[in-house]
Amino acid sequence: MNPEYDYLFKLLLIGDSGVGKSCLLLRFADDSYLESYISTIGVDFKIRTVEQDGKTIKLQIWDTAGQERFRTITSSYYRGAHGIIVSSVIISQLSCNCISMLQNTVWVDGLSLQVVYDVTDQESFNNVKQWLNEIDRYASDNVNKLLVGNKCDLDADRVVSYETGKAFADEIGIPLLETSAKDATNVEKAFMTMTAEIKNRMASQPATNASKPATIRMQGRPVAQKSSCCS
């Protein structure tokens, strides 16, 4: 066992460019926020080590590029993943390529999953069920799920109420959290909830190497900076 940590978990964030994946990751990993962002080429990741129930857990959180030309992500990127975070904003532009990506992905015992919609984007909320259906089809049967309504700080622009989101979450039997990377609302809680679910699942299973997935060094490069509202 590595003396520096008890568990190593690999989490993924996937979704369209500008949905707020990088902002959520930056808030959780570095407790910071940028009004503008630099688009990622390929993939990038951050690491944060947390303590939970007396255990030291190293989180390797991967952020994927959402641009059209990077949506065909190799299956090796998903290999060993313990959690998948799916951002379902601008679903009309995502559907063809991302569904194809899901169909060609090797899902290896994804133990916990977050499905994210934008509370200011009705279409992204309407299509959450489609994402859940696709993930249920290609992910492992025992995957844990968390529904996340992002950008909850943009109250004036909200089109999906908390009550609507909660009713849907109750209907499909998964918990709901609303988050904001800008003011940090529930960002910590969302990632730590995922971490707890993975840890509890791993602790209940026989010891394997699954908690120590191989590190894949695939670092993105910045391109021209552009503005984005990624609360």
The reported pTM is 0.71
Which pLDDT tens digit goes with each residue over 110-134? 356 677 788 888 887 887 777 677 6
Rounded CA separation 45/64 (Å): 8
Distance CA 60, CA 159 (A): 33
Q: 50 pLDDT band (50/70/90 cuts)? A: very high
Pick from 190, 18, 151: nearest CA to 93: 18
Q: What is the mean pLDDT of residues 158-168?
A: 94
Judged against a pLDDT cut of 80, whether residue 32 lies above it is answered with yes
Q: Burial, 182: exposed, middle or buried (Cβ in 10 Å; 0-12, 13-18, 19+)?
A: buried
Chain segment 207-220, per-residue pLDDT in tens: 555 444 433 333 44
Question: What pLDDT shows up at residue 175?
Answer: 86
pLDDT tens column, 59-80? 888 776 544 444 444 334 444 4
Cα Rg of the chain (Å, integer): 17
pLDDT at 149: 87
pLDDT class of 158 with cuts at 50, 70, 90? very high
Give me the pLDDT at residue 92, please. Answer: 33
Computed over every residue of the chain, the mean pLDDT equals 70
What confidence category does residue 2 fall into, taking pLDDT thresholds of 50, 70 and 90?
low
Helices 21-30 & 187-203 angle (0-180, nearest 10): 80
Q: Rounded to an integer, what distance in angstroms lies between the CA atom of residue 62 and that of residue 104?
A: 19
How many other β-carbons are positioned within 10 Å of the β-carbon of residue 162?
A: 13
The identity of residue 229, as a single letter, is C
pLDDT for 187 beyond 80? yes
Contact present, 88 and 116 (Cβ < 8 Å): yes
Examine the pLDDT at 182 and tell me if it is beyond 90: yes
